[in-house]
Amino acid sequence: MLELSPIIAGCMKWGQWGVKYSTAQYLQLIEDCIVNKITTFDHADIYGDYTVEEEFGNALKQKPHLRQQMQLITKCGIRRSTPNRFENKIHSYDTSRKHIITSAERSLQNLGTDYIDVFLIHRPDPLMNPHEIVEAFSDLKKEGKALHFGVSNFTPSQMDMMMAAFKVEFNQLEVSVLHLDPFHDGTLDKCIQHNIKPMSWGPLGSGKLYGDNGDERNKRILSIANVLAEKYSASIEQILLAFLFKHPSGIIPVIGSTKIERLTSAYDATKIHIEREEWFMLWRASKGHEIP
């Protein structure tokens, strides 16, 4: 299986949906990540309303040799209605063979690369035909345009359907101390069973833990995280990542920050090994009750 860095740099907010970095700023953050052993970058065709891939690719053109030092992930299957995609009348899903191949080829062009390391179906499509997806993936692999394949946000039953047709290597899903469902709904069990590598988007709760909203659940979690942060001389965010690293499925967090300091701090969290009871302290704080 392809080896990804233990922290993935999520690029969604690098452009129009976030800080709107210049080409020079893209390149600087890419280089800073690589120097700090964060070599995997997460994209989707729709990020920045179909602009981030191209902006990232423009930065890579400045120093093409960096491509050999990184792994690129991108996703397809969501069609957004935007001015630069006039053919998309409404927001919808499309996992047809034609759309998958067209999306991959466009991503290759935008990123300025000959191959995508990991190509994912972004969301489950109610109309998806796994055999048609396999045809597209097989064609892309045969031509060397995409090397590894997976899905994102798929349920265990949807995973079963896909696994009957081809080998799913990755599942990118929402999982954090605030979103515990994958721990007990069979999603991570499925990953272990079939040697599927899970990636976590929103690994720190997508910012929902912070803010003066008086949420009792958040207060409980932060209270325990503070105690553990003091014990391990770590930040709260590092403790929340250590919570994910504890799981035997090998969760890889996608960190959507645009700041190298936060990305390197997340990388350093891989060195923190909380105890089993401490893991359950965070679990109890999130659930609000003792385990059965």
Count of helices and strands (H, E) across the chain = 12, 10
> What angle (nearest 5°) sits at the alpha carbon of residue 186, between those of residues 205 and 7?
40
* Residues 102, 108: Cα–Cα separation, whole Å: 10
Q: What share of the chain is helix, strand, coil (3-state, %, to 5)?
A: 45, 15, 40
Catalytic residue among 26, 47, 50, 267: 47
Cα 40 to Cα 13, 31, 251, 253, 267: the distances in Å are 16, 12, 14, 11, 12
* Residue 115 a catalytic site member: no
* Nearest of 102, 33, 26, 93 to residue 60 by alpha carbon: 26
> What angle (nearest 5°) sits at the alpha carbon of residue 190, between those of residues 185 and 195?
150
Which positions are annotated as active-site residues?
47
